Structure 1
Amino acid sequence: MTKHEMIIPTYDDMLAAHMRIAPHIRRTPVRVSQHLNELTGASLFFKCENFQEPGAFKVRGAANAVFGLTDDQAKQGVATHSSGNHASCLSYAAMLRGIPCNVVMPRTAPQAKKDTVRRYGGKITECEPSTSSREATFARVQSETGGDFVHPYNDPRVIAGQGTCAKELMEQTDGLDMVVAPIGGGGMISGTCLTLATLAPDCQVIAAEPEQADDAYRSFKAGHIIADDAPKTIADGLLVPLKDLTWHFVSNHVSEIYTASDADIIDAMKLIWKHLRIVMEPSSAVPLAIILKNPEAFRGKRIGLIVTGGNVDLDRLPWLA
């Protein structure tokens, strides 16, 4: 949706999004673990977006985009490209509104995520697992269907929707020093920056990224976007590069980006499954992984961690490989 790019969403847009999506999403709980607090030397507050109906935070941005369309705009439905969670969340929001949803997904996307898209009535066209193939395939699908393009993250409607998560997190905790969220394309991080810059300007926003898909980290250090075409990591939700709109928020508001190896991510994922007793996907474990890897940066702090999703293939858990 190029006509939306570089319209910078505002705090008021986030507040409007929260009102708009409230009937369609869950206000997810915040969980704590005494063991994980002792292990890290910090007070950790896990915002459980894996408890959303489609299993991921992306339902916030997707619902804001879908329910923000006029009846005329909605007639041809919506379309997107996604490695999984945005696809299922947009399909879910479109199903609630009763409009079609066309999705381009990498053929390598987890079967669990493809199944979820189809369950909500989304129509999948597969592409090769690269940014270039994804965008080329999507251009063809959109020209055939005419659906409104809801970009997975580089869309002001989506970023405003994702920002509602940090609003709830601040309301559910008694002040935080930091919020740590995973970073791929940067939609959740951008929404977090958007909200906290107004609501809690002293609260630092920290991004957590897989070492094997560390283009945001390298972009952050270089001062301009560096994009990888087809990185490979266990954190399949974090494979896409930053775009101009998310780079605006990352470059202006993120305090630091840390990376963790796939082994670190799997270890953190097992800890969360064991001690919070919740199902979450590898991408969601990256925040805890970077805290465990950099204890001196986080010790003694009150930290919100956004558990971004729980759509994991239970027959292919990473520690069983």
Structure 2
Amino acid sequence: MTSEQDLFAKQFQSIVDNIGQAIIGKQDALELAVTCLLAEGHLLIEDAPGVGKTSLAKALAITVQSEFGRIQFTPDLLPSDVVGTTIWNRTGNTLDFRPGPVFAGIMVADEINRASPKTQSALLEAMAERQVTVDGTTHMLPRPFMVIATQNPLEHEGTYPLPESQLDRFMMRIEVGYPSRQAEGEILNTHGGQNPLDSLQPAVDPGTVMALAERANEVYTAPAIRNYLVQIAHTSRNHPSLALGMSPRATLALQRAGRVRAAARGRDFVLPDDVKQLAKPVLAHRLLLNPQARAQGVSPSRIVDSIVASIPAPAG
């Protein structure tokens, strides 16, 4: 391991450990969230209320010294409430742009599926191109920029399903899950008297985050690994249980996330195991089951497992 590879691995772990001071017992979820950040992707967290979805996002923002913005998505939320609006300034006789919460470095879209499709679509340009266009003028977003959206799978009344075009813009979907007995006891012991976010300190700055992201882009993906990714994509598009398989954006996302995972483990090359470990969080939410598969209770995660198992991993 070279000094540069060792530095990436140490900085990656320092970010995870720092968030872990506030989010106890969720190492896998934290590593995936940091991987998503350094791969310059967006994160969808789907889980029950009270398990720490918003706290995870806030802890990540504090750790990387990023401005934090939060929007509670509701049925009456307007696109201008998300991206901002142009206001007439009578004093200066000018039109002034007032940016919305999306201009924060890390923006939490809380219960995103409670807003109308029109409001949800206001995020599409920001997530794909890291810019927003209001009244014909394009405004660039800060870097790093990350949308962390949450949705509650238990409450379906008053919700709007996220369209496939928006789901495809989330690099990963993860679950936080309930803590173990030991972790919950530690939460009661350490977090019972105060909010752990109040004492959390930054671990890196935004410049370091962007440097790590650029370093991850230099991780080597061998032709055999790229062919492995293409095979996974084409198998998904021809799977008998799927009406919609992987998009090219999904293939690129899996490669970017694999590079970050490799670098976080001190390697400058991607292994098949990196692809396998990230396949479900990167791919499962993008796959659309056909009616027969839904009637049989098949889950997208099982489809991902079957696809990966059916393709021999490259050797050597």
TM-score by length of structure 1 reads 0.31
Scaled by the length of structure 2, what TM-score is found?
Answer: 0.32
